[in-house]
Amino acid sequence: MNMRVAKSEVDGAKVIPVANKSVKQSALTEVFAIVGVTMNFDANVEIFGEAEPVEYFYEVVSGAVRTYKVLDDGRRQIDAFYLPGDTFGLEAGSHHALSAEAVSRSTIRLAKRSVVLAMVARDPELGQALWSAAASGLSAAQEHLLVLGRKTAEERVASFLLDIFRREANRDVIELPMSRHDIADYLGLTIETVSRTISLLESENAITLQSARRLIVKSASRLRQLNA
Amino acid sequence: MNMRVAKSEVDGAKVIPVANKSVKQSALTEVFAIVGVTMNFDANVEIFGEAEPVEYFYEVVSGAVRTYKVLDDGRRQIDAFYLPGDTFGLEAGSHHALSAEAVSRSTIRLAKRSVVLAMVARDPELGQALWSAAASGLSAAQEHLLVLGRKTAEERVASFLLDIFRREANRDVIELPMSRHDIADYLGLTIETVSRTISLLESENAITLQSARRLIVKSASRLRQLNA
DNA sequence: CGGGATATTGATTGATTTCAATGTGAGTGG
DNA sequence: CCACTCACATTGAAATCAATCAATATCCCG
Protein backbone atom coordinates (compact mmCIF):
# COMPACT_ATOMS: atom_id res chain seq x y z
CA MET A 1 0.00 0.00 0.00
CA ASN A 2 2.89 2.32 0.59
CA MET A 3 4.98 3.05 -2.46
CA ARG A 4 7.71 4.95 -0.70
CA VAL A 5 10.75 4.12 1.38
CA ALA A 6 8.09 3.75 4.01
CA LYS A 7 9.02 2.99 7.55
CA SER A 8 6.86 3.11 10.60
CA GLU A 9 7.55 1.24 13.78
CA VAL A 10 5.68 0.50 16.94
CA ASP A 11 7.87 1.68 19.67
CA GLY A 12 8.29 1.08 23.33
CA ALA A 13 11.76 2.38 24.09
CA LYS A 14 12.99 3.91 20.86
CA VAL A 15 11.03 7.13 21.26
CA ILE A 16 12.74 10.09 19.69
CA PRO A 17 13.65 12.71 22.28
CA VAL A 18 11.10 15.45 21.94
CA ALA A 19 12.23 19.05 21.86
CA ASN A 20 10.90 20.78 24.93
CA LYS A 21 7.93 22.45 23.35
CA SER A 22 5.01 23.47 25.46
CA VAL A 23 2.31 21.00 24.58
CA LYS A 24 -1.39 21.62 25.06
CA GLN A 25 -2.98 19.77 27.92
CA SER A 26 -6.49 18.39 27.78
CA ALA A 27 -8.58 15.47 28.88
CA LEU A 28 -7.75 13.99 25.50
CA THR A 29 -4.02 14.23 26.03
CA GLU A 30 -4.44 12.38 29.31
CA VAL A 31 -6.28 9.61 27.54
CA PHE A 32 -3.47 9.27 25.05
CA ALA A 33 -1.00 9.11 27.89
CA ILE A 34 -2.96 6.24 29.45
CA VAL A 35 -4.15 4.11 26.56
CA GLY A 36 -2.05 5.47 23.69
CA VAL A 37 0.54 3.48 21.81
CA THR A 38 3.54 5.42 20.56
CA MET A 39 4.71 4.97 16.98
CA ASN A 40 7.31 6.63 14.80
CA PHE A 41 6.73 7.54 11.19
CA ASP A 42 9.40 8.57 8.72
CA ALA A 43 8.82 11.66 6.62
CA ASN A 44 6.14 11.20 3.96
CA VAL A 45 4.87 7.92 5.35
CA GLU A 46 1.12 7.45 5.34
CA ILE A 47 -0.59 7.31 8.72
CA PHE A 48 -4.02 6.56 7.36
CA GLY A 49 -5.60 6.69 3.93
CA GLU A 50 -8.79 8.12 2.54
CA ALA A 51 -11.73 5.70 2.71
CA GLU A 52 -10.01 3.52 5.27
CA PRO A 53 -12.11 2.66 8.33
CA VAL A 54 -11.49 4.90 11.31
CA GLU A 55 -9.75 2.71 13.86
CA TYR A 56 -7.68 5.11 15.93
CA PHE A 57 -7.48 8.63 17.22
CA TYR A 58 -4.05 10.23 16.95
CA GLU A 59 -1.95 12.74 18.84
CA VAL A 60 1.24 14.33 17.58
CA VAL A 61 4.03 13.98 20.11
CA SER A 62 6.80 15.36 17.93
CA GLY A 63 7.18 16.17 14.28
CA ALA A 64 4.23 17.22 12.13
CA VAL A 65 1.39 15.69 10.17
CA ARG A 66 -0.58 16.78 7.12
CA THR A 67 -4.05 15.66 6.09
CA TYR A 68 -4.98 16.03 2.44
CA LYS A 69 -7.04 15.03 -0.56
CA VAL A 70 -5.81 14.47 -4.11
CA LEU A 71 -7.50 14.66 -7.49
CA ASP A 72 -6.95 12.03 -10.16
CA ASP A 73 -4.44 14.21 -11.98
CA GLY A 74 -2.37 14.69 -8.86
CA ARG A 75 -3.53 18.09 -7.68
CA ARG A 76 -3.40 18.03 -3.93
CA GLN A 77 -5.14 20.09 -1.29
CA ILE A 78 -3.76 19.99 2.22
CA ASP A 79 -6.52 20.31 4.76
CA ALA A 80 -4.54 20.88 7.89
CA PHE A 81 -1.17 20.57 9.56
CA TYR A 82 -0.93 19.06 13.02
CA LEU A 83 1.85 20.05 15.40
CA PRO A 84 2.98 18.58 18.73
CA GLY A 85 0.06 18.48 21.14
CA ASP A 86 -2.55 18.43 18.38
CA THR A 87 -4.97 15.56 18.00
CA PHE A 88 -6.30 14.41 14.65
CA GLY A 89 -8.34 11.69 12.99
CA LEU A 90 -11.31 12.37 15.27
CA GLU A 91 -13.73 12.41 12.37
CA ALA A 92 -17.10 11.14 13.37
CA GLY A 93 -17.69 9.08 10.26
CA SER A 94 -16.82 5.41 10.09
CA HIS A 95 -14.35 5.99 7.27
CA HIS A 96 -11.65 8.62 6.76
CA ALA A 97 -12.59 11.37 4.33
CA LEU A 98 -8.93 12.22 3.74
CA SER A 99 -5.42 10.87 4.11
CA ALA A 100 -2.75 11.66 6.68
CA GLU A 101 1.03 11.58 6.31
CA ALA A 102 3.99 12.49 8.45
CA VAL A 103 5.53 15.74 7.20
CA SER A 104 8.85 14.93 8.84
CA ARG A 105 9.93 12.02 11.00
CA SER A 106 7.28 12.09 13.71
CA THR A 107 6.27 10.43 16.91
CA ILE A 108 2.54 9.83 17.11
CA ARG A 109 0.38 8.35 19.84
CA LEU A 110 -2.53 6.20 18.77
CA ALA A 111 -5.57 5.40 20.87
CA LYS A 112 -8.12 2.89 19.71
CA ARG A 113 -11.31 4.70 18.85
CA SER A 114 -13.44 2.00 20.44
CA VAL A 115 -11.47 2.25 23.68
CA VAL A 116 -11.77 6.02 23.80
CA LEU A 117 -15.48 5.89 23.06
CA ALA A 118 -15.95 3.35 25.83
CA MET A 119 -14.18 5.73 28.19
CA VAL A 120 -16.45 8.56 27.04
CA ALA A 121 -19.44 6.60 28.26
CA ARG A 122 -18.01 6.75 31.78
CA ASP A 123 -16.48 10.21 31.63
CA PRO A 124 -18.63 13.06 30.33
CA GLU A 125 -15.75 15.50 30.56
CA LEU A 126 -13.86 13.39 28.05
CA GLY A 127 -16.87 13.39 25.76
CA GLN A 128 -16.81 17.15 26.03
CA ALA A 129 -13.12 17.26 25.13
CA LEU A 130 -13.64 15.00 22.15
CA TRP A 131 -16.60 17.04 20.96
CA SER A 132 -14.73 20.29 21.33
CA ALA A 133 -11.65 18.97 19.54
CA ALA A 134 -13.91 18.01 16.65
CA ALA A 135 -15.48 21.47 16.81
CA SER A 136 -12.15 23.23 16.56
CA GLY A 137 -11.32 21.12 13.52
CA LEU A 138 -14.52 22.22 11.83
CA SER A 139 -13.92 25.82 12.78
CA ALA A 140 -10.39 25.68 11.37
CA ALA A 141 -11.74 24.26 8.12
CA GLN A 142 -14.25 27.11 7.90
CA GLU A 143 -11.54 29.70 8.39
CA HIS A 144 -9.48 27.90 5.76
CA LEU A 145 -12.38 28.14 3.30
CA LEU A 146 -12.37 31.91 3.71
CA VAL A 147 -8.64 32.00 3.03
CA LEU A 148 -8.85 29.83 -0.08
CA GLY A 149 -11.98 31.38 -1.47
CA ARG A 150 -11.42 35.05 -0.85
CA LYS A 151 -7.85 36.03 0.04
CA THR A 152 -4.92 37.18 -2.09
CA ALA A 153 -1.61 35.36 -2.14
CA GLU A 154 -0.04 37.78 0.33
CA GLU A 155 -3.01 37.51 2.68
CA ARG A 156 -2.90 33.72 2.47
CA VAL A 157 0.76 33.51 3.36
CA ALA A 158 0.28 36.04 6.16
CA SER A 159 -2.56 34.05 7.71
CA PHE A 160 -0.56 30.86 7.40
CA LEU A 161 2.45 32.38 9.15
CA LEU A 162 0.27 33.92 11.85
CA ASP A 163 -1.38 30.58 12.45
CA ILE A 164 1.94 28.82 12.88
CA PHE A 165 3.22 31.72 14.98
CA ARG A 166 0.27 31.42 17.35
CA ARG A 167 0.52 27.65 17.52
CA GLU A 168 4.20 27.85 18.34
CA ALA A 169 3.29 29.96 21.38
CA ASN A 170 3.95 33.33 19.70
CA ARG A 171 7.70 32.84 19.78
CA ASP A 172 9.13 35.12 17.13
CA VAL A 173 11.44 32.45 15.75
CA ILE A 174 9.24 30.23 13.63
CA GLU A 175 10.34 26.76 12.60
CA LEU A 176 8.49 25.52 9.56
CA PRO A 177 8.33 21.73 9.56
CA MET A 178 6.92 21.65 6.03
CA SER A 179 8.27 22.41 2.56
CA ARG A 180 7.21 25.23 0.24
CA HIS A 181 5.39 22.57 -1.70
CA ASP A 182 3.32 21.67 1.35
CA ILE A 183 2.62 25.32 2.11
CA ALA A 184 1.57 25.88 -1.50
CA ASP A 185 -0.81 22.92 -1.41
CA TYR A 186 -2.23 24.16 1.87
CA LEU A 187 -2.80 27.69 0.58
CA GLY A 188 -3.97 26.83 -2.92
CA LEU A 189 -0.93 28.46 -4.55
CA THR A 190 2.22 27.32 -6.39
CA ILE A 191 5.60 26.97 -4.72
CA GLU A 192 6.87 29.89 -6.78
CA THR A 193 4.13 32.18 -5.55
CA VAL A 194 4.70 31.09 -1.96
CA SER A 195 8.41 31.74 -2.32
CA ARG A 196 7.91 35.13 -3.95
CA THR A 197 5.36 36.14 -1.34
CA ILE A 198 7.65 35.19 1.53
CA SER A 199 10.35 37.32 -0.12
CA LEU A 200 7.83 40.14 -0.43
CA LEU A 201 6.95 39.92 3.25
CA GLU A 202 10.64 40.05 4.02
CA SER A 203 11.07 43.17 1.87
CA GLU A 204 8.17 44.72 3.77
CA ASN A 205 9.98 44.03 7.03
CA ALA A 206 7.22 41.78 8.33
CA ILE A 207 9.60 38.83 8.67
CA THR A 208 13.27 37.86 8.28
CA LEU A 209 14.43 34.64 6.70
CA GLN A 210 17.23 32.83 8.49
CA SER A 211 16.91 29.84 6.23
CA ALA A 212 14.08 28.48 4.13
CA ARG A 213 12.60 26.68 7.12
CA ARG A 214 13.41 29.17 9.86
CA LEU A 215 12.14 32.71 9.99
CA ILE A 216 11.69 35.53 12.45
CA VAL A 217 8.47 37.44 12.90
CA LYS A 218 9.57 41.06 12.96
CA SER A 219 6.13 42.58 12.79
CA ALA A 220 3.20 40.43 13.82
CA SER A 221 1.04 43.53 13.49
CA ARG A 222 1.97 43.88 9.84
CA LEU A 223 0.99 40.25 9.33
CA ARG A 224 -2.29 40.83 11.18
CA GLN A 225 -2.99 43.86 9.06
CA LEU A 226 -2.60 41.67 5.97
CA ASN A 227 -4.77 39.03 7.55
CA ALA A 228 -7.68 41.29 6.45
CA MET B 1 -29.34 43.71 15.22
CA ASN B 2 -30.89 43.30 11.80
CA MET B 3 -30.41 46.21 9.42
CA ARG B 4 -32.67 44.91 6.70
CA VAL B 5 -36.38 44.80 6.03
CA ALA B 6 -36.06 41.84 8.32
CA LYS B 7 -39.01 39.74 9.18
CA SER B 8 -39.10 36.47 11.02
CA GLU B 9 -42.07 35.11 12.83
CA VAL B 10 -42.76 32.29 15.21
CA ASP B 11 -45.45 30.32 13.64
CA GLY B 12 -48.07 27.90 14.70
CA ALA B 13 -50.64 27.89 11.93
CA LYS B 14 -49.21 30.17 9.29
CA VAL B 15 -46.81 27.56 7.90
CA ILE B 16 -46.03 28.06 4.25
CA PRO B 17 -47.23 25.10 2.18
CA VAL B 18 -44.15 23.10 1.38
CA ALA B 19 -43.59 21.85 -2.13
CA ASN B 20 -43.75 18.11 -2.12
CA LYS B 21 -40.05 17.43 -2.11
CA SER B 22 -38.72 14.18 -0.79
CA VAL B 23 -37.08 15.07 2.46
CA LYS B 24 -34.39 13.01 4.16
CA GLN B 25 -35.52 11.04 7.20
CA SER B 26 -33.33 10.54 10.23
CA ALA B 27 -33.49 10.30 13.98
CA LEU B 28 -32.74 14.01 13.95
CA THR B 29 -35.70 14.87 11.77
CA GLU B 30 -37.93 12.99 14.19
CA VAL B 31 -36.57 15.04 17.05
CA PHE B 32 -37.36 18.25 15.19
CA ALA B 33 -40.86 16.97 14.54
CA ILE B 34 -41.33 16.40 18.26
CA VAL B 35 -39.60 19.28 20.00
CA GLY B 36 -39.04 21.66 17.08
CA VAL B 37 -40.62 25.10 16.79
CA THR B 38 -41.40 26.24 13.27
CA MET B 39 -40.41 29.73 12.17
CA ASN B 40 -40.50 31.62 8.91
CA PHE B 41 -37.67 33.83 7.72
CA ASP B 42 -37.88 36.28 4.85
CA ALA B 43 -35.13 36.24 2.26
CA ASN B 44 -31.80 37.59 3.54
CA VAL B 45 -32.86 37.60 7.17
CA GLU B 46 -30.25 36.46 9.66
CA ILE B 47 -30.95 33.20 11.48
CA PHE B 48 -27.91 33.38 13.73
CA GLY B 49 -24.77 35.46 13.78
CA GLU B 50 -21.09 34.70 14.13
CA ALA B 51 -19.92 34.65 17.74
CA GLU B 52 -23.44 34.29 19.07
CA PRO B 53 -23.95 31.52 21.61
CA VAL B 54 -25.26 28.29 20.15
CA GLU B 55 -28.80 27.97 21.47
CA TYR B 56 -30.60 25.93 18.85
CA PHE B 57 -30.20 23.27 16.23
CA TYR B 58 -31.98 23.97 12.95
CA GLU B 59 -33.68 22.04 10.19
CA VAL B 60 -34.74 23.44 6.84
CA VAL B 61 -38.37 22.63 6.10
CA SER B 62 -38.66 24.71 2.95
CA GLY B 63 -36.55 27.36 1.28
CA ALA B 64 -32.79 27.47 1.64
CA VAL B 65 -30.14 28.72 4.05
CA ARG B 66 -26.56 29.89 3.60
CA THR B 67 -23.83 29.98 6.24
CA TYR B 68 -20.93 32.35 5.67
CA LYS B 69 -18.09 34.47 6.96
CA VAL B 70 -17.20 38.00 5.92
CA LEU B 71 -13.97 39.96 5.98
CA ASP B 72 -13.83 43.57 7.17
CA ASP B 73 -13.85 44.89 3.63
CA GLY B 74 -16.96 42.94 2.77
CA ARG B 75 -15.51 39.94 0.97
CA ARG B 76 -17.77 37.03 1.78
CA GLN B 77 -17.20 33.29 1.72
CA ILE B 78 -20.25 31.07 1.80
CA ASP B 79 -19.54 27.88 3.65
CA ALA B 80 -22.56 25.84 2.77
CA PHE B 81 -26.10 25.90 1.48
CA TYR B 82 -28.79 23.97 3.30
CA LEU B 83 -31.82 22.64 1.45
CA PRO B 84 -35.09 21.12 2.72
CA GLY B 85 -34.35 18.18 4.98
CA ASP B 86 -30.89 19.43 5.89
CA THR B 87 -29.94 20.21 9.46
CA PHE B 88 -27.48 22.94 10.39
CA GLY B 89 -26.04 24.84 13.33
CA LEU B 90 -24.89 21.60 14.98
CA GLU B 91 -21.46 23.01 15.67
CA ALA B 92 -19.99 21.58 18.80
CA GLY B 93 -18.57 24.82 20.09
CA SER B 94 -20.46 27.05 22.47
CA HIS B 95 -20.47 29.93 19.99
CA HIS B 96 -21.20 30.05 16.28
CA ALA B 97 -18.12 30.30 14.08
CA LEU B 98 -20.17 31.70 11.21
CA SER B 99 -23.46 33.36 10.38
CA ALA B 100 -26.59 31.92 8.81
CA GLU B 101 -29.20 33.65 6.65
CA ALA B 102 -32.28 32.59 4.72
CA VAL B 103 -31.49 32.58 0.99
CA SER B 104 -35.18 32.91 0.12
CA ARG B 105 -38.27 32.99 2.30
CA SER B 106 -37.83 29.82 4.33
CA THR B 107 -39.51 27.71 6.92
CA ILE B 108 -37.11 26.46 9.56
CA ARG B 109 -37.60 24.23 12.57
CA LEU B 110 -35.62 25.05 15.68
CA ALA B 111 -34.87 22.66 18.50
CA LYS B 112 -33.25 23.85 21.70
CA ARG B 113 -29.75 22.48 21.88
CA SER B 114 -30.07 21.72 25.58
CA VAL B 115 -33.27 19.77 24.99
CA VAL B 116 -31.74 17.74 22.18
CA LEU B 117 -28.62 17.04 24.21
CA ALA B 118 -30.79 15.88 27.10
CA MET B 119 -32.56 13.51 24.74
CA VAL B 120 -29.21 12.22 23.52
CA ALA B 121 -28.41 11.11 27.06
CA ARG B 122 -31.40 8.75 26.88
CA ASP B 123 -31.16 7.77 23.24
CA PRO B 124 -27.79 6.62 21.93
CA GLU B 125 -29.15 6.32 18.41
CA LEU B 126 -29.90 10.01 18.45
CA GLY B 127 -26.39 10.75 19.64
CA GLN B 128 -25.19 8.74 16.69
CA ALA B 129 -27.36 10.75 14.31
CA LEU B 130 -26.11 14.02 15.73
CA TRP B 131 -22.51 12.89 15.54
CA SER B 132 -22.89 11.72 11.98
CA ALA B 133 -24.63 14.90 10.88
CA ALA B 134 -21.69 16.85 12.28
CA ALA B 135 -19.34 14.47 10.46
CA SER B 136 -20.99 15.03 7.13
CA GLY B 137 -20.64 18.77 7.66
CA LEU B 138 -16.93 18.39 8.22
CA SER B 139 -16.57 16.12 5.24
CA ALA B 140 -18.43 18.62 3.04
CA ALA B 141 -16.11 21.38 4.22
CA GLN B 142 -13.09 19.24 3.32
CA GLU B 143 -14.41 18.61 -0.16
CA HIS B 144 -15.12 22.33 -0.47
CA LEU B 145 -11.49 23.09 0.43
CA LEU B 146 -10.34 20.95 -2.47
CA VAL B 147 -12.67 22.81 -4.80
CA LEU B 148 -11.55 26.25 -3.66
CA GLY B 149 -7.88 25.46 -3.42
CA ARG B 150 -7.30 23.41 -6.52
CA LYS B 151 -10.07 23.53 -9.11
CA THR B 152 -10.59 25.73 -12.15
CA ALA B 153 -13.69 27.87 -12.60
CA GLU B 154 -15.33 25.33 -14.87
CA GLU B 155 -14.60 22.49 -12.46
CA ARG B 156 -15.95 24.53 -9.56
CA VAL B 157 -19.24 25.27 -11.26
CA ALA B 158 -19.54 21.66 -12.39
CA SER B 159 -19.06 20.34 -8.87
CA PHE B 160 -21.53 22.85 -7.53
CA LEU B 161 -24.18 21.86 -10.05
CA LEU B 162 -23.54 18.16 -9.45
CA ASP B 163 -23.90 18.68 -5.72
CA ILE B 164 -27.25 20.43 -6.11
CA PHE B 165 -28.29 17.83 -8.68
CA ARG B 166 -27.58 15.01 -6.25
CA ARG B 167 -29.26 16.78 -3.35
CA GLU B 168 -32.36 17.40 -5.43
CA ALA B 169 -32.64 13.64 -5.93
CA ASN B 170 -30.93 13.59 -9.34
CA ARG B 171 -33.91 15.17 -11.06
CA ASP B 172 -32.62 16.68 -14.28
CA VAL B 173 -34.53 19.92 -13.77
CA ILE B 174 -32.53 21.85 -11.21
CA GLU B 175 -34.03 24.75 -9.30
CA LEU B 176 -31.39 27.08 -7.93
CA PRO B 177 -32.68 28.84 -4.85
CA MET B 178 -29.67 31.17 -4.76
CA SER B 179 -28.40 34.04 -6.89
CA ARG B 180 -25.26 34.12 -9.02
CA HIS B 181 -23.80 36.29 -6.31
CA ASP B 182 -24.35 33.54 -3.75
CA ILE B 183 -22.91 30.92 -6.08
CA ALA B 184 -19.88 33.11 -6.72
CA ASP B 185 -19.28 33.61 -3.02
CA TYR B 186 -19.64 29.87 -2.47
CA LEU B 187 -17.18 28.97 -5.22
CA GLY B 188 -14.64 31.73 -4.64
CA LEU B 189 -15.34 33.36 -8.03
CA THR B 190 -17.03 36.52 -9.30
CA ILE B 191 -20.60 36.60 -10.56
CA GLU B 192 -19.31 37.32 -14.06
CA THR B 193 -17.12 34.22 -14.06
CA VAL B 194 -19.99 32.10 -12.74
CA SER B 195 -22.26 33.45 -15.44
CA ARG B 196 -19.71 32.95 -18.19
CA THR B 197 -18.96 29.44 -16.97
CA ILE B 198 -22.62 28.46 -16.90
CA SER B 199 -22.88 29.74 -20.49
CA LEU B 200 -19.81 27.70 -21.35
CA LEU B 201 -21.35 24.55 -19.88
CA GLU B 202 -24.46 25.25 -21.91
CA SER B 203 -22.40 25.63 -25.08
CA GLU B 204 -20.78 22.29 -24.26
CA ASN B 205 -24.23 20.69 -24.02
CA ALA B 206 -23.77 19.74 -20.40
CA ILE B 207 -26.80 21.77 -19.33
CA THR B 208 -29.62 23.90 -20.74
CA LEU B 209 -30.79 27.13 -19.17
CA GLN B 210 -34.53 27.61 -18.94
CA SER B 211 -34.11 30.74 -16.88
CA ALA B 212 -31.32 32.01 -14.66
CA ARG B 213 -32.60 29.96 -11.74
CA ARG B 214 -33.85 26.89 -13.58
CA LEU B 215 -31.67 24.61 -15.63
CA ILE B 216 -31.71 21.13 -17.07
CA VAL B 217 -28.88 18.66 -16.66
CA LYS B 218 -28.39 17.28 -20.15
CA SER B 219 -25.20 15.41 -19.43
CA ALA B 220 -24.43 14.53 -15.84
CA SER B 221 -21.52 12.48 -17.16
CA ARG B 222 -19.99 15.58 -18.77
CA LEU B 223 -20.31 17.36 -15.44
CA ARG B 224 -18.74 14.40 -13.64
CA GLN B 225 -15.90 14.36 -16.11
CA LEU B 226 -15.23 18.02 -15.28
CA ASN B 227 -15.50 17.24 -11.61
CA ALA B 228 -11.93 15.92 -11.99
C1' DC C 1 32.92 17.54 -0.33
C1' DG C 2 29.81 16.56 -3.74
C1' DG C 3 25.00 16.07 -5.51
C1' DG C 4 20.17 15.91 -5.69
C1' DA C 5 16.27 17.88 -3.76
C1' DT C 6 14.45 22.22 -2.43
C1' DA C 7 14.03 27.10 -2.96
C1' DT C 8 14.54 31.57 -5.20
C1' DT C 9 14.20 34.69 -8.92
C1' DG C 10 13.11 36.12 -13.76
C1' DA C 11 10.25 36.36 -18.04
C1' DT C 12 6.12 35.33 -20.07
C1' DT C 13 1.57 33.54 -20.41
C1' DG C 14 -3.01 32.96 -19.21
C1' DA C 15 -7.21 32.47 -16.34
C1' DT C 16 -10.01 35.18 -13.79
C1' DT C 17 -11.10 39.78 -12.27
C1' DT C 18 -12.43 44.29 -13.11
C1' DC C 19 -14.71 47.75 -15.55
C1' DA C 20 -18.41 48.67 -18.61
C1' DA C 21 -22.51 48.12 -21.33
C1' DT C 22 -26.61 45.64 -22.40
C1' DG C 23 -30.17 42.26 -21.57
C1' DT C 24 -33.86 39.96 -18.82
C1' DG C 25 -37.38 39.22 -15.64
C1' DA C 26 -40.19 39.47 -11.45
C1' DG C 27 -42.97 42.51 -8.85
C1' DT C 28 -45.62 46.87 -8.46
C1' DG C 29 -48.59 50.43 -9.13
C1' DG C 30 -51.18 53.05 -12.33
C1' DC D 1 -53.45 44.31 -17.73
C1' DC D 2 -49.67 46.54 -19.05
C1' DA D 3 -45.78 49.37 -18.51
C1' DC D 4 -42.29 50.55 -15.58
C1' DT D 5 -38.58 49.81 -12.73
C1' DC D 6 -34.99 47.89 -10.26
C1' DA D 7 -32.41 44.03 -9.16
C1' DC D 8 -30.19 40.37 -11.30
C1' DA D 9 -27.77 38.26 -15.12
C1' DT D 10 -25.16 38.11 -19.36
C1' DT D 11 -21.63 39.50 -22.46
C1' DG D 12 -17.55 42.20 -23.99
C1' DA D 13 -12.90 44.46 -23.49
C1' DA D 14 -9.05 45.49 -20.78
C1' DA D 15 -6.25 44.82 -16.77
C1' DT D 16 -4.11 42.02 -13.22
C1' DC D 17 -2.62 38.50 -10.24
C1' DA D 18 -0.90 34.19 -10.05
C1' DA D 19 0.65 30.20 -12.96
C1' DT D 20 3.86 28.41 -15.98
C1' DC D 21 8.23 27.93 -18.07
C1' DA D 22 13.05 28.50 -17.26
C1' DA D 23 17.40 29.42 -15.10
C1' DT D 24 20.22 29.74 -11.05
C1' DA D 25 21.00 29.35 -6.03
C1' DT D 26 21.06 27.08 -1.66
C1' DC D 27 20.81 23.53 1.53
C1' DC D 28 20.86 19.23 3.53
C1' DC D 29 22.52 14.53 3.59
C1' DG D 30 25.30 10.95 2.56
- pLDDT digits 0-9 by tens, A149-173: 999 999 999 999 999 999 999 999 9
Tell me which chain A residue has its CA closest to the CA of residue B153. Answer: A149
What was the pLDDT predicted at B33? 95
What was the pLDDT predicted at B4? 41
Could you say which nucleotides of strand D lie within 7 A of any protein CB atom? Answer: 8-13, 17-22, 26-28
What was the pLDDT predicted at A92? 84
Footprint of strand D on the protein (CB under 7 A): A 152-154, 188-190, 192-193, 211-213; B 179-181, 191-192, 194-196, 198-199, 209, 212-213
Q: Evaluate whether B133 touches A134 at the Cβ level (below 8 Å).
A: no
Q: pTM for this one?
A: 0.92
What was the pLDDT predicted at A1? 37
Cβ within 8 Å, pair B141-A139: no
- Nearest nucleotide to B192 (CA to C1') is D10
Average pLDDT, integer, range B5-14:
45
- Nearest nucleotide to B213 (CA to C1') is D9
Residue B209 host element (H or E): strand B207-211
Question: What's chain B's average pLDDT?
Answer: 90
The residues of chain A scoring below 70 in pLDDT are 1-25
What was the pLDDT predicted at B81? 98
What was the pLDDT predicted at A53? 97
DSSP letter string over B160-191? Answer: HHHHHHHHTTT-SEEEP-S-HHHHHHHHTS-H
> How many residues are there in chain B?
228
What was the pLDDT predicted at B228? 86
Binning pLDDT at 50, 70 and 90, where does residue B82 land? very high
Residue A199, CB, less than 7 Å from strand C?
yes
What was the pLDDT predicted at A8? 59
Strand-pair partners of A18 = none
Cβ within 8 Å, pair A144-B145: yes
Pick among A113, A145, A181, A190 to test the B interface (most B CBs inside 10 A): A145
Binning pLDDT at 50, 70 and 90, where does residue B12 land? very low
Binning pLDDT at 50, 70 and 90, where does residue B92 land? confident
Report the alpha-carbon distance of residue A144 to residue A186 in Å, rounded.
Answer: 9
